[in-house]
Amino acid sequence: MKTASLIATAALLATALATPLAQAKNDNKPAAGSGPSCSAGSTVVSFIDCAGSFEGNLRGAPDAAQIAALNAQFGDNGFTYSNSLVYSKSDAAGHGVFTSLGDDFTLTFDNGQVATGLFVIGLKQATRYSFYLFDGGSAGINSISFDVKGVVDKQTDGLSHAIYLGNALTAPVPEPESYALMLAGLGVVGFIARRRARRG
19 & 68 share domain: no
13 & 90 share domain: no
Identify the domain containing residue 137 by its residue range. Answer: 31-169
**Count of domains observed in the chain:** 3
151 & 182 share domain: no
47 & 94 share domain: yes
5 & 35 share domain: no
Task: Please name which of 121, 96, 126, 151 lies closest in space to residue 46, comparing C-alpha atoms.
Answer: 121
| For residues 120-146, average pLDDT | 91
Conformation bin of residue 191: beta by default, left when phi > 0, alpha when psi is -120 to 50: alpha
100 & 199 share domain: no
165 & 189 share domain: no
Which of the four pLDDT bands, split at 50, 70 and 90, describes residue 179? low
Which of the four pLDDT bands, split at 50, 70 and 90, describes residue 70? very high
Contact 133, 50 (CB under 8 A): yes
Given this model, what pLDDT does residue 156 score?
60
19 & 74 share domain: no
pLDDT tens per residue, range 13-60: 333 333 333 333 333 445 555 667 887 777 777 789 999 889 999 988
Q: Which residue type does 166 have?
A: G
